[in-house]
Structure 1
Amino acid sequence: MASLHLLSSKTLNPITLPKPIIPTSFQTPFSIPTSIKPIPSFRTVPKVALSHNLELNNGFLSSVEKDGFKLFVGNLPFHVGDLDLAKLFQTCGNVVMVEVVYDKLNRRSRGFGFVTMSSVKEAEAAAKKFDGYELEGRQLRVNYGPPPSKKSFIKEPKEERNDINTNTVYVGNLSWSVDNETLETLFWEHGNVMQAKVHYDKDSGRSRGFGFVTYSCADEVYSAVESLDGVDLDGRNIRVSVAVPPQRHS
């Protein structure tokens, strides 16, 4: 039987491959010459939370809003969006969050929104500058004031103004598309909204064009009437007044 000859690596003559010729000036696609500096990035509006991504900022925003840096902006042109509002208000400081309120069904602006600044000083400056500011033919309504403290709702009731005998406001000249949620969103900035109700026709189910908003105290009613009467909501200037309770006949 022929003997088997085992081949080891020492007995093999490997083929020596020529080394590739690489030019000394060759750059890989991932290398950046030191002589070239990256182009700096510019942002029109720096780090503003817009309404479409609020869920990413809820923790931080809630703490800022509690400090009372939030502004109500009414009578907005309908095509003005979050970014437009942010650009406008950043001239007064650092804009933290912007939210234009839209109709859920047709995604049309309801003509109002909210802007949160990073400090009380900036919020006051923005309210002073933009309340009455004309934007594309419309005079903005900008109101600023710290939201009512939760502790105030459990304090002894204060003596109410003589001209206010109810905690409810009447809201008239409403657009047919305004619902309870929209009414609450508009009015909650001025106090603790206990109830917001649009009245509908029982037979047709169509809005009757008016509603009522109930607050926790008369001070909030006074603030809402003073700030929101005449504000444009869905293309209509709403009428806001103190609701007169029905007289009881003896």
Structure 2
Amino acid sequence: MTQKRLTPTQFRNQLLAVMDKKHHWAWPQFAGSAISKAQLKIHFQQEYGVYVRDFPVLLARIHGTNPPMDVRRKLAENIFEEDTGKLSLGKSHPELFLTMMAGLGFQNGAFGNLTLLPASRRYRTWLDQATLNRIWLVGTAVMTIFVEGSINDRQELLHPSKARSKREIESHIKRHPLVRFHGLSPAYMDLSRAHQLVENGHRHDAYDMVVNHTTTRQDQETILTALRKSLRLWLVYRDGIARACRLTP
């Protein structure tokens, strides 16, 4: 017997049920005061190599499958900002990431020929597979809902955050763990500034693109399966980084 298609609300809630679990035990340690610069370097190298460097390229693959026009427009805006920064501070987000790394004392050479950890490679391989999938909804869900999203998605959809003033953005940056615990000058935090300038409403866009264009129960299940696989591989990926940093629960 064919299962009845989930309503948009039901489908959104099942997507959010996956995102409710996007939390790793080591994250409080990476955001805490005890983590060392050497451990942070391992963490940031893996993040950069797995998705930060190539994020706009991964999005462009989805755009190239010719999804509906409203989806193309949202993806194009995201790609444009990620690759040029022209909607915020005028520099690409990967470049702003490397600027932040330089502020920590990590030079660009440390992020050139990276060696990914085994679990990192598996997670990146999955991101490649998802964004090359002939079903554009799969790549869109994986990249815009899972990769860009967090455990805070449900709260954000229920109570959308408002655009922050310049003063509020600077106050947020001063409270950032890298500034508080590792002496990073706020001058190197333009990546955080760019995120806060352009990402208001992005979480809603991500869910709307996927939920509003998924018309069959089979496609709903395909997307949910892809998100659950993303979560499994992401948790193992984060485990791998924690082990490389010699962290324990």
| TM-score, with structure 1 as normaliser | 0.23
Q: Name whichever structure is richer in helix by fraction.
A: 2
Choose between structure 1 and 2 for higher RCO, CA contacts under 8 A separated by at least 6 residues: 2
More strand by share: 1
Larger Rg: 1
